[in-house]
Structure 1
Amino acid sequence: MPHHLVVKGIHLVVNSVNLGGVTVKRRPSGQHHGDLRNALEQAALALVKERGPHGFTLAEACRRAGVSVSAPYKHFADREALLASLALKGYEEQYRRYRAAVAGGTDVAEQLAAFAAAYVRFAAEERALFDITFLAGLDKSRHPELAKAGKNLFDMLVPIAHQVTPDQDTALDLLTRIAAAAHGLALFLQQGMLPAGRENLTQAAHQAAHCARALVAQQTHTPH
């Protein structure tokens, strides 16, 4: 009669093995990421907040995420690719914020003022994303998705500026000047360069909105 041996329900978990008196510990696997990509992005964001977009290595992001140094290459070819992924998130967050800002009214000057104020708030409230998006020096020829995301922003906003002037190029120029003023105020706020009494987010956003209204008024009274 054949002998049957049935073994079931056995689970072996080996955390250490003793070999001739030497205990070899099992190397922890770190976080078991089905979410490795997100873990690396969050680690990089934290490092950018601490040191800026140029102040860390890919290996440091791995250590912060609790994964091996070879882990990123499943998702990111190099450190720039990791930053480019975050820059894309920065553009997407801007799109969400600016679209909500301009949706709040129908007066063109007020819509563009709301955009300018939202720009300054984004820079202050999402400092790491702002720095990555604008200060990391990413090569957009290597990451065409970033150029496309930036174009999406202008494609959303230019039609609003176009209501001020019938000329497409002039509308683009107006929007660029409004964005440049907001960008400068955002950097001045970050670097503590605004005048005393105006060195806070509320005042900087108010000033950006004021600049936008002034630029719209200037364009409106400029002979075409």
Structure 2
Amino acid sequence: MVTEQARTGDRYHHGNLRAALLESALEVLTETGVAGFSMREAARRAGVSQSAPKHHFGDTRGLLGALATRAYRQLCERLEGVECSGLDARERVTGLAVEYVAFARDNRALFDLMWRMTQFDYDDPELAEQKHRALRALDRVLRGTDAGSTSDEDPGSVQSYAVWSLVHGYTSLALEGAIDEQAADPLASDLLPAMLRLVDLRPVDGR
């Protein structure tokens, strides 16, 4: 009897079907976008039966949710890598903005998926943790590594949301060609730094 592992050839090693399906799903998502995504096509490219993804993800929403979770995790890793030592708040936030735009530019399909809340379970615990992790990374960059934690009601958190909204809004508009059309690469534009200069980035807690 030919097993699913045998049918996939070199596509994945035994016990790594979930990872192989995520990779093939990413290929499909990159080519077709969310609207054209097909779990059946992802299974075909992974070299497994059409029912195989259901064992790991349940349905298309589950598979897209797993991709979105991975995208948030990758974004968080980039944001957490922003250098903070010896820099003021504006310099730190500018560095974070560069990483945010770069992630979106390099992962257009995943970035688009991350905000399609109706396409997957947006309240999934693992996905929710990565979303909060992203906000904590922004808060750390904005207020400094030694700043205390905040809640959603704290002024510092509101400031973090304000900066995130500005950076995300610019990123979305730039990638769609709706803003700063003269810049071939949104990272090469001076518009976002100019916008950030208009924002009061003095830490709310006085740091």
Q: TM-score, normalised on structure 2?
A: 0.79
Which amino acid in 1 is paired with 2:30?
Answer: K
Structure 1 residues 64 and 28: alpha-carbon distance in aligned structure 2, compared to 1, 3 A threshold: same
2:35 aligned residue:
54
1:4 aligned residue:
none
Indicate if the aligned counterparts of 2:143 and 2:203 stay in contact, CA closer than 8 A: no
- Paired with 1:147 and 1:37, the residues of 2 have a C-alpha distance of 21
Q: 1:107-186 counterparts in 2 under 5 A?
A: 107-135=88-116, 137=118, 138-141=120-123, 143-162=124-143, 168=150, 169-186=154-171
Structure 2 unaligned runs (5+)? none
Structure 1 residues 172 and 41: alpha-carbon distance in aligned structure 2, compared to 1, 3 A threshold: same
Moved more, 166-175 or 143-152: 166-175
What's the C-alpha RMSD, in Å, of the aligned pairs? 3.0
2:8 aligned residue:
31
Structure 1 unaligned runs (5+)? 1-13, 16-26
- Secondary structure of 1:49 counterpart: helix
- Paired with 1:167 and 1:31, the residues of 2 have a C-alpha distance of 47
- Secondary structure of 2:183 counterpart: coil
Does residue 71 in structure 1 map to residue 55 in structure 2? no
Does residue 83 in structure 1 map to residue 68 in structure 2? no
Indicate if the aligned counterparts of 1:114 and 1:209 stay in contact, CA closer than 8 A: no
Which amino acid in 2 is paired with 1:146?
Answer: L
Indicate if the aligned counterparts of 1:101 and 1:114 stay in contact, CA closer than 8 A: yes
User: How many matched pairs?
Assistant: 193
The equivalent position to 2:75 in structure 1, one of 71, 94, 98, is 94
User: CA shift at 1:61, angstroms?
Assistant: 1.1
- Paired with 2:5 and 2:56, the residues of 1 have a C-alpha distance of 21
- Paired with 1:139 and 1:166, the residues of 2 have a C-alpha distance of 31
- Paired with 2:52 and 2:78, the residues of 1 have a C-alpha distance of 33
- Paired with 1:123 and 1:105, the residues of 2 have a C-alpha distance of 27
Larger-gyration structure (1/2): 1
